[in-house]
Structure 1
């Protein structure tokens, strides 16, 4: 097998999810997600929730520090 062929297949797979076609892979029948897609979506939702929680905590800390500076300056 020529290395260019393998490179082409890998490039197509990375781009489309399928090494045998230039078209993107078809979604699951009926618009349903595969288990791997569902697991990834849940993981991303958890990560987003954790990041949003961290942002809220940092915003509260910032606000407290702003108030402390105002009191300290007076």
Structure 2
């Protein structure tokens, strides 16, 4: 297999919050098309479209979970996973000690 046959994995680009806010403002405040702004900034129009959609939700112009609500939901899901794991560990430990104490 030659190097030409190996698929190249692209790294996901990271954008600063300031860059995202400026890009969204270019769309919402100037009524320019998402595709036009995205092309000018060298980013994907789907990426910018997702940012614009979330900004509209955050501004109350569209229904959906705000950024703060999404962050809280993510935090709560992580916390639930941790608590569930701890509970399951305690169940196994209790079952082990009950079994050991009856011997």
Classify the TM-score, shorter chain: 0.5 to 0.7
Aligned partner of 1:37 in structure 2 is: 66
What TM-score do you get using the length of structure 2 for normalisation?
A: 0.40
The structure with the largest helix share of the pair is 1
- What do residues 17-45 of structure 1 show as CA deviations (whole Å, max 9, x unaligned)? xxxxxxxxxxxx71221246211111100
Unmatched 5+ residue regions in structure 2? 1-47, 59-64
For the aligned residue pairs, the C-alpha RMSD in angstroms reads: 1.7
Unmatched 5+ residue regions in structure 1? 1-28
What TM-score do you get using the length of structure 1 for normalisation?
A: 0.55
Count of paired positions = 46
Using CA pairs below 8 Å that are at least 6 residues apart, which structure has the higher relative contact order?
2
